[in-house]
Amino acid sequence: MRCDSHVHIVGPLDRYPQVSERTYTADIASLRQLESVSATRAVRRFVIVQPSFYGTDNSLLLESLDALAGRGRGVAVVNPEATAARTLSAYAGQGIRGLRLNLYSPLRDKAPLADRFEAVAGIAQEMNWHIEVIAPLKILAENAMLLSRARVPVVIDHYGVFLGYGPEQAESRALLELLALPHVWIKLSAPYRVSENPLATKPDPAWLAAILATAPDRCVWGSDWPHTPLHEAQMDSAAVLPYRSLRYETLVDDFNAAVGSADLAERCLSENPARLYGFE
């Protein structure tokens, strides 16, 4: 069964408050909408990732997992100092399989990756979860040793956010060396986040080839639905900004075409996420 390994769900503001320090107000993006746009490409499993504007309130994420009734998994954001063991256990029962560290969005925690990773590593190890990291390539390269020594699976978001780097550069080689390790995975998601074109739907050919050659069994595809607006547009916490106008079908089709091999593309869409997220 095909899986979209990176989506966000957004509810009505009056029921699901967004944090006061947000840089814009996210509009509604419901699970029903997601299932509607993904149906034509036979995507029926989803990994819901906690967005920055909900902070550590994972309520909507958990409700969405309940609604998916086994077809969903989640990546949560927690306060490692204040989240009780019974809460973590309940999260696991509802489908949480990872913890997210965000060093990319405007609302990110300013603490260094090493400090934040260390703070949640014990939880991830105890719960048998992975740690998902979204960070620009430079930060990933600077922390390559830390990530290489992790005792839990590490999942790198959005192609390693390589914008501005070619796969032959030193920082890029550091990422590819990380990906050669058996505990490091990567999401082949959101090509527009690593392109000068804010509406790009086609993966960068050189980067895609380098990543697939290094870790074909540890790549998972994701749409990044509902495609949040450019960071440069996020200037007013009260402004409801439109999502990027992208067709879900185009993202799937362009990914399949770029991979070239139907077998390998299906591994990224089906088999690999089933192993990473524990789907049957």
Tell me the per-residue pLDDT of 152-168, one tens digit each, with 9 for 90 and over.
Answer: 999 999 999 999 999 99
Per-residue pLDDT at 92? 98
Cα(123)–Cα(275) distance, integer angstroms = 20
Arithmetic mean of pLDDT, 224-236: 82
Q: SS3 of 135, please?
A: coil
Cα(54)–Cα(17) distance, integer angstroms = 7
Arithmetic mean of pLDDT, 231-252: 86
Question: pLDDT class for 29, splitting at 50, 70, 90?
Answer: very high
Cα(129)–Cα(125) distance, integer angstroms = 6
pLDDT over 70, % of the chain: 97
pLDDT at 24 over 90: no
User: pLDDT tens digit string along 103-152?
Assistant: 987 665 678 999 999 999 999 999 999 999 999 999 999 999 999 999 99
Cα 62 to chain centroid, rounded: 16
In this structure, the chain runs to a length of 280
Please measure the distance between the N-terminal and C-terminal CA atoms of the chain and give it in whole angstroms: 10
DSSP one-letter code for 278: T
Cα(243)–Cα(29) distance, integer angstroms = 9
Per-residue pLDDT at 109? 63
Cα(101)–Cα(50) distance, integer angstroms = 10
pLDDT at 234 over 70: no
- Cβ atoms within 10 Å, residue 23: 18
Give domain limits for the chain: 2-277
pTM of the model: 0.96
Among the residue ranges 2-6, 176-180, 276-280, the one predicted with the least confidence is 276-280
**Residue entry with tokens 């994701």:** 222
Among the residue ranges 183-197, 227-241, 265-279, the one predicted with the least confidence is 227-241
Instruction: Report how far apart, in Å, the C-alpha atoms of 166 and of each of 110, 181, 260, 262 are.
Output: 27, 21, 21, 26
pLDDT at 23 over 90: no
Cα 48 to chain centroid, rounded: 8
Arithmetic mean of pLDDT, 170-199: 97
Per-residue pLDDT at 179? 98
Cα(5)–Cα(221) distance, integer angstroms = 6
pLDDT over 90, % of the chain: 90
On whether the CB atoms of residues 19 and 55 are closer than 8 A, the answer is yes
Per-residue pLDDT at 107? 63
On whether the CB atoms of residues 154 and 184 are closer than 8 A, the answer is yes
Superfamily designation of domain 2-277? Metal-dependent hydrolases (3.20.20.140)
- Cβ atoms within 10 Å, residue 209: 15
Cα(231)–Cα(234) distance, integer angstroms = 5
- Cβ atoms within 10 Å, residue 140: 26
User: pLDDT tens digit string along 37-77?
Assistant: 999 999 999 999 999 999 999 999 999 999 999 999 999 99
pLDDT at 90 over 90: yes
Per-residue pLDDT at 233? 67
pLDDT at 2 over 90: yes
pLDDT at 81 over 80: yes
Q: 52: Cβ–Cβ under 8 A, 6 or more apart, which residues?
A: 19, 22, 77, 102, 105, 107, 108
Q: SS3 of 180, please?
A: coil
> What are the two backbone dihedrals, phi and then psi, of residue 228, each rounded to the nearest 5 degrees?
-60, 155
Q: Where are the alpha helices (DSSP H) in the chain?
A: 31-38, 59-68, 85-94, 113-127, 137-142, 144-148, 170-179, 205-214, 248-259, 262-266, 272-277
Per-residue pLDDT at 99? 98
Instruction: Report how far apart, in Å, the C-alpha atoms of 257 and of each of 41, 80, 263 are.
Output: 14, 41, 12
Question: pLDDT class for 84, splitting at 50, 70, 90?
Answer: very high
Per-residue pLDDT at 114? 94
